[in-house]
Amino acid sequence: MDTYMSLTLNGNNPENSIKKAEAFIKKLDRLLSAHDKSSEIFKLNNSGRKSLSPDSLSVLKSALKYYRLTDGAFNPAMLPVTTLWGFPDKKYRVPDSSEVLKALKLAKPEEIKINGSTVKLGVIDMKLDLGGIAKGYASQKTIELLKKEKVDSALINLGGNIQTLGKKPDGSLWTVAVENPNKNSSYLGQLKISDKAVITSGGYERYFKKNGKTYHHIIDPENGYPAVSGLKSVTIISDNGIQADALSTALFVMGREKAVEFWKTSKSGFDFILYTDNGKLLISEGIENSFYSDLDYEVINE
């Protein structure tokens, strides 16, 4: 996953549980990487058709579910477009609009056919990148694994994607801060939580500059360009890490109004923290009593 991971847990046999969790996360990483030549996803991308192991298949099915739910704002087939911009290999460039249009035609997840464990990419040169959901899937499934291990308290941090199990060993709630995209400043706020995933997406995490313009890594599947949505970052708080990961990207692409509308209509049990380009902080009502901030914020009600 090209990132760091940290795992804190409390259980009957913590060392053994940590080892199992670590092995599981590394296994997922090997299966799902779009860049590792030996991964299942790399092979599927190369041949257009492949039988997948249960975990890879499950991640892909989740990705397709959120593609449909978000009306395409979350798209797991954007690799040809992000490659044009140079994000996967950090060889950044600004592509021609004709190139972008061509690559965008390949980003059609609705053309993926699944028959049993066999997956067929229905457009020639279509390529999947499950990076927008892989970490959330990994933390969610690791939490489920730890529950089976009778672990009652854990915090998983996969490169800044946070998921917690239970409360802290001393019985208090976990404190998860949300990074302020204006780096030199303090946090946007802190959440007091238990049994929740907290996942943030923002253009500030990865970007490059060319001729005085900034191009960030969250590409709008609608037009193939870095999403200009008026948002600096989106944080999703959910019982489910997969949902939190997929929706943090999707709501960032949607922008403030669509994101709030999506939250109101979906009623699927998540909360959000939106931070806008002009420095406004909006939170959904479900976290009103667990969010603390020195900044002013507006609470959005259903």
Partner 1 sequence: MNKRDFIAIGAVLILSAIGFLFFAFQPKGGASVKISINSDVQGTYPLNENRTINIKTDGGFNTVVIKDGSVFIKDADCPDKYCVKQGKINSGSIICLPHRMTVEITDQQQPDAVAR
By CB under 8 A, name the binding residues for partner 1.
6, 8, 155, 157, 160-162, 168, 174-179, 184-187, 190, 198-200, 202, 205, 235, 294-295
Element (H, E) at 16: helix 14-32
Q: Which is nearer to partner 1, 32 or 244 (CB)?
A: 244
**Whether the Cβ atoms of residue 34 and residue 68 lie closer than 8 Å to each other:** no
**Residue in the structure block whose two tokens are 């690791």:** 142
CB of 190 to partner 1, least distance (A): 6
Q: Which is nearer to partner 1, 126 or 236 (CB)?
A: 236
- Kindly calculate the radius of gyration of the chain based on its CA atoms and give it in whole angstroms: 19
Q: Which is nearer to partner 1, 177 or 282 (CB)?
A: 177
Q: Measured between alpha carbons, how far is 2 from 87 in angstroms, rounded to an integer?
A: 13
Q: What separation in angstroms does the CA of 270 have from each of 89, 113, 278? A: 33, 30, 24
CB of 176 to partner 1, least distance (A): 5
Q: Which is nearer to partner 1, 134 or 162 (CB)?
A: 162
Maximum CA extent, the chain: 58
CB of 179 to partner 1, least distance (A): 4
Buried b (16+ CB within 10 A) or exposed e, 78-99: bbbbbbbbbbeeeeeeebeeee
CB of 58 to partner 1, least distance (A): 24
CB of 154 to partner 1, least distance (A): 11
DSSP sequence for 113-173? EEETTEEEESSTT----THHHHHHHHHHHHHHHHHHTT--EEEEEETTEEEEESS-TTSPP
CB of 302 to partner 1, least distance (A): 23
Q: Which is nearer to partner 1, 124 or 296 (CB)?
A: 296
Q: Which is nearer to partner 1, 33 or 248 (CB)?
A: 248
Secondary structure letter of residue 57 according to DSSP = H
**Whether the Cβ atoms of residue 14 and residue 154 lie closer than 8 Å to each other:** no
CB of 255 to partner 1, least distance (A): 20
Determine the residue type at 235. T
Q: Which is nearer to partner 1, 168 or 258 (CB)?
A: 168
Q: Measured between alpha carbons, how far is 234 from 202 in angstroms, rounded to an integer?
A: 6
Q: What separation in angstroms does the CA of 253 have from each of 126, 156, 234, 274? A: 21, 26, 10, 12
Q: Which is nearer to partner 1, 52 or 273 (CB)?
A: 273
CB of 183 to partner 1, least distance (A): 10
The token pair at 4 is: 């760091």
